[in-house]
Amino acid sequence: MGSSGFSSSSTAEEVTQGINGSGLTAIVTGTTHGIGTETARVLALRGVHVIMAARDVIAAKAVKEAILKEIPTAKVDAMELDLSSMTSVRKFALEYISSGLPLNILINNAGISAFPFTLSKDNIELQFATNHLGHFLLTNLLLDTLKKTASESKKEGRIIIVSSDGHQYTYPEGILFDKINDESSYQKWHAYGQSKLANILHANELTRLLKEDGIDNITANSLHPGAIMDTNIYKPEINGPVPTDLINRLGSFLLKNIQQGAATTCYVALHPQVRGISGEYFSDNNLAKASSLAKDTNLAKKLWDFSMKTIDYNTHEQI
Ligand SMILES: NC(=O)c1ccc[n+]([C@@H]2O[C@H](COP(=O)([O-])OP(=O)(O)OC[C@H]3O[C@@H](n4cnc5c(N)ncnc54)[C@H](OP(=O)(O)O)[C@@H]3O)[C@@H](O)[C@H]2O)c1
């Protein structure tokens, strides 16, 4: 049991027990499977209006129906978002902003892991494109909506980025800025670790920039959900065996079920204990320690500049 009063075995329902989320609106990415589905369900259970952002809208609508069957009063909607395509991210953000909906909570949850080398539609290595860059662009495009909602509703806006303890298993250099799309340097598990390291650096640099701009009513945190085998993210036939040195690096850990796997996300998104906390890394519903690379402020700034250049370059390419 950590200082929050919760532990690795606490479920998403337990960590949000008694919290009234009605009046809040959240976007959750990647809700068609695993942790994202349970996150959407539990936020909806607590009264939050949940927008499920999914690349497979038919699957997201099936999740919506299942949630409504269990919670008839739930406010849940599905919108199309493919994080590996900047055109799709821009289209989603435009549609969201045009809808006039407020935005209190943004949960960047969607992810892929240990894929064989693949380039996205924008010619960017697929794990970096999906796990980091798509979410980076999405967050930037929705930041004004988060700011507007926070000031009008007088409620803290929260950005939650689902990373992984696998961030420790990145390339020795941290982020291969000059070789992001270089197939010959590619190692699929390190590339996953690299994208998850980028998730933490993103939350940290965003926190710094918000503080620099005097914005104290929006927080940005990252987290490790735990090791959850019954989601879709790890499939031995696609991802191959988990390297032994990765298992050794992570040390001993307990496997979680999906209800426990969604808990830290729901805790950071809704719990009053987290109010005002920003730029932190959470695990097992408590504050946790990220690697020294993840805490490197120069690396965070370098990644921010690199990401800005990459999305901007891509915009010009489209024009
Ligand atoms: N499970 C674990 O042990 C574990 C450990 C550490 C961190 N995490 C992190 O937890 C998060 C959720 O993982 P999970 O285990 O719940 O995985 P999952 O069951 O595979 O779910 C991933 C979700 O992301 C969506 N997604 C993938 N690519 C996308 C794209 N291009 N655009 C939009 N959505 C996309 C998937 O949609 P489709 O249905 O269309 O594929 C799915 O809904 C990930 O960020 C992962 O890195 C998981």
Q: Return the best residue to mutate from 61, 89, 196, 233 for the ligand 1 pocket (most ligand atoms within 8 A of CB).
A: 233
Is the CB of 112 inside a 6 Å radius of any atom of ligand 1? yes
- 270: pLDDT confidence band, cut at 50, 70 and 90? very high
Q: How far is CA 42 from the centre of its chain?
A: 16
The DSSP symbol for 148 reads H
Cβ atoms of residues 229 and 166 within 8 Å: no
Name the residue among 215, 213, 105 with its Cα closest to residue 159. Answer: 105
Distance CA 96, CA 49 (A): 14
Highest CATH level, class, for 12-318: alpha beta
Is the CB of 132 inside a 6 Å radius of any atom of ligand 1? no
Q: Which two tokens stand for residue 116?
A: 């064989």
Distance CA 50, CA 314 (A): 30
Residue 315's pLDDT is 65
Confidence (pTM):
0.97
Residues 6 or more apart from 230 whose CB is under 8 A from it? 34, 257, 258
Q: Which two tokens stand for residue 277?
A: 């906390």
Q: Region 112-125: what's the mean pLDDT?
A: 95
Backbone angles phi, psi at 47, to 5 degrees: 95, 0
When comparing pLDDT for 236 and 187, which is higher?
Answer: 187
Q: Is the pLDDT of residue 1 over 90?
A: no
| Domain map (residue ranges) of the chain | 12-318
Q: Tell me the CA–centroid distance for residue 215 and ligand 1, in Å.
A: 30
Mean pLDDT, rounded, of the chain: 94
Q: Region 243-252: what's the mean pLDDT?
A: 73
Helices of type H across the chain = 12-15, 34-45, 57-70, 86-99, 126-127, 134-153, 188-212, 236-239, 244-250, 258-261, 263-270, 297-318
Counting atoms of ligand 1 from 1, which one is nearest the CA of 130?
Answer: 31
Distance CA 167, CA 75 (A): 34
- 229: pLDDT confidence band, cut at 50, 70 and 90? confident
Distance CA 136, CA 140 (A): 6
Is the CB of 81 inside a 6 Å radius of any atom of ligand 1? yes
pLDDT (tens digit per residue) in 171-205: 999 999 999 999 999 999 999 999 999 999 999 99
316: how many CB neighbours lie within 10 A of its CB? 7
- 319: pLDDT confidence band, cut at 50, 70 and 90? very low
When comparing pLDDT for 253 and 13, which is higher?
Answer: 13
Is the CB of 203 inside a 6 Å radius of any atom of ligand 1? no
- Flag the least confident range among 158-162, 200-204, 251-255: 251-255
pLDDT (tens digit per residue) in 53-103: 999 999 999 999 999 999 999 999 999 999 999 999 999 999 999 999 999
Q: Parallel, antiparallel, or unpaired: how do β-strands 105-108 and 25-29 relate?
A: parallel
Q: Tell me the CA–centroid distance for residue 150 and ligand 1, in Å.
A: 28
